[in-house]
């Protein structure tokens, strides 16, 4: 059993092994990290970028790949407007480049196969990333408890991991996927429309029945609104774990 939750985070030199576009503004970057101690689904890393004159920028990013001890990890990074670090990662970074990574960090907003309870996941935009890591971990671990994901995107082409999510959902009844689109909805769309509210949460069975673990990740106001609905619906506050981006995405620039 890996001890990712308690392994002391330390700086390691990672090498970029692959870069792929997920959407027009989102890329997944694969790294080889020799000595990586392994991680849990939902943990994050710090990246440290150093310019030639010694100027340093650090940012935190969620790990996208599933739990395990493989030295190959993936980060999925949203290019925020004028983002100092995300802009560099999107525009400048090439396969073979080396970059410093510290992690894994955070054992709270994380899923472990040791605690296979019913799982309710709610994502807004790139808030899907740590939740995808949990879903991948859960799939690889053969988790048996039901999981539901309600994923809010502006438009269909902004959905990250769309085909992989479809494959996971098609594999069995234990994972139920619902998308909602808040802006343009294409003809023939069978998912939800509009922002997530109490009616949608109830309709999609995001109820406290069975005392599930709940993880909500997205922009601050998205998370605040949804968590208030969840508490009013009777969810136990201690089972609702959240990760917020900050009002303008300042955390993940």
Query: Chain-centre distance of CA 206, in angstroms?
Result: 19
DSSP annotation of 39 = B
By CB under 8 A, is residue 18 in contact with other proteins?
no
**Gyration radius of the chain's alpha carbons:** 18
Which of 2, 9, 19, 113 forms a contact with other proteins (CB under 8 A)?
Answer: 9
Closest of 183, 180, 121 to residue 147, by C-alpha: 121
Distance CA 241, CA 112 (A): 14
Q: Applying CB under 8 A, does 55 fall inside the site for other proteins?
A: yes
Q: Is 87 in the site for other proteins (CB under 8 A)?
A: yes
- What proportions of the chain, in percent to the nearest 5, are helix, strand and coil? 25, 35, 40
DSSP track, 1-13: ---TTTSPPEEEE
Distance CA 141, CA 81 (A): 37
| Partners of 16 in beta bridges | 31
Is 106 an interacting residue with respect to other proteins (CB under 8 A)?
yes
What end-to-end distance do the CA atoms of the chain give, in Å? 34
Order of strands across the sheet that contains 72-78: 56-62, 44-50, 98-105, 10-21, 26-32, 72-78
Question: Segment 109-138, which members bind other proteins (CB under 8 A)?
Answer: 109
Helix H or strand E encompassing 170: helix 162-171
Residue 169 binds to other proteins (criterion: CB under 8 A) = no
Q: Binding mask 63-82 vs other proteins (x if CB under 8 A, - otherwise)?
A: -------------------x
Question: Contact with other proteins (CB under 8 A): which of 99, 132, 168, 217?
Answer: 99
Q: At what angle do helices 162-171 and 128-141 cross, to 10 degrees?
A: 30
Applying CB under 8 A, the span of 46-54, 111-119, 120-128, 175-183 interacting with other proteins comes to 46-54
Q: Is 105 in the site for other proteins (CB under 8 A)?
A: yes
Least distance (Å) from other proteins to the CB of residue 239? 9
- Please report whether residue 54 would count as binding other proteins according to CB under 8 A: yes
* Minimum CB distance to other proteins smaller for 60 or for 207: 60
Position among 72, 88, 117, 208 found at the interface with other proteins (CB under 8 A): 88
Among 17, 48, 145, 191, which residue interacts with other proteins (rule: CB under 8 A)?
48
Chain residues binding other proteins by CB under 8 A are 5-6, 8-10, 13, 46, 48-52, 54-60, 82, 84, 87-88, 92-94, 97-100, 102, 105-109, 220, 224, 227-228, 230-231, 237-238, 240-242, 244-248, 250-251, 253
């Amino acid at each position: 059993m890996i001890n990712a939750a308690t392994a002391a985070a330390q700086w390691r030199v990672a090498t970029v092994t692959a870069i792929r576009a997920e959407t027009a503004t989102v890329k997944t970057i694969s790294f080889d990290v020799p000595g990586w101690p392994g991680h849990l689904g939902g943990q994050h890393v710090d990246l440290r970028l150093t310019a030639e004159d010694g100027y340093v920028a650090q940012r935190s990013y969620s790990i996208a790949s599933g739990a395990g001890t493989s030295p190959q990890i993936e980060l999925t990074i949203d290019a925020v407007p004028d983002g100092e670090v995300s802009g560099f990662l999107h525009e400048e970074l090439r396969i073979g480049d080396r970059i410093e990574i510290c992690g894994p960090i955070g054992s709270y907003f994380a899923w472990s196969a040791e605690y296979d309870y019913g799982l309710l996941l709610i994502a807004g935009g790139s808030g899907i990333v740590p939740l995808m890591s949990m879903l991948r971990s859960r799939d690889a671990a053969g988790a048996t408890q039901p999981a539901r994901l309600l994923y809010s995107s502006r438009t269909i082409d902004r959905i990250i991991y769309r085909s992989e999510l479809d494959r996971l959902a098609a594999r069995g009844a234990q994972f139920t996927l619902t998308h909602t689109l808040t802006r343009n909805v294409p003809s023939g769309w069978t998912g939800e429309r509009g922002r997530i509210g109490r009616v949608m949460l109830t309709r999609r069975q995001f109820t406290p029945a069975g005392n599930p673990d709940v993880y909500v990740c997205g922009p601050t106001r998205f998370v605040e609104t949804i968590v208030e609905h969840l508490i009013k619906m009777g969810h136990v506050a201690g089972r609702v774990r959240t990760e917020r981006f900050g009002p303008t995405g300042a955390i993940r620039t």
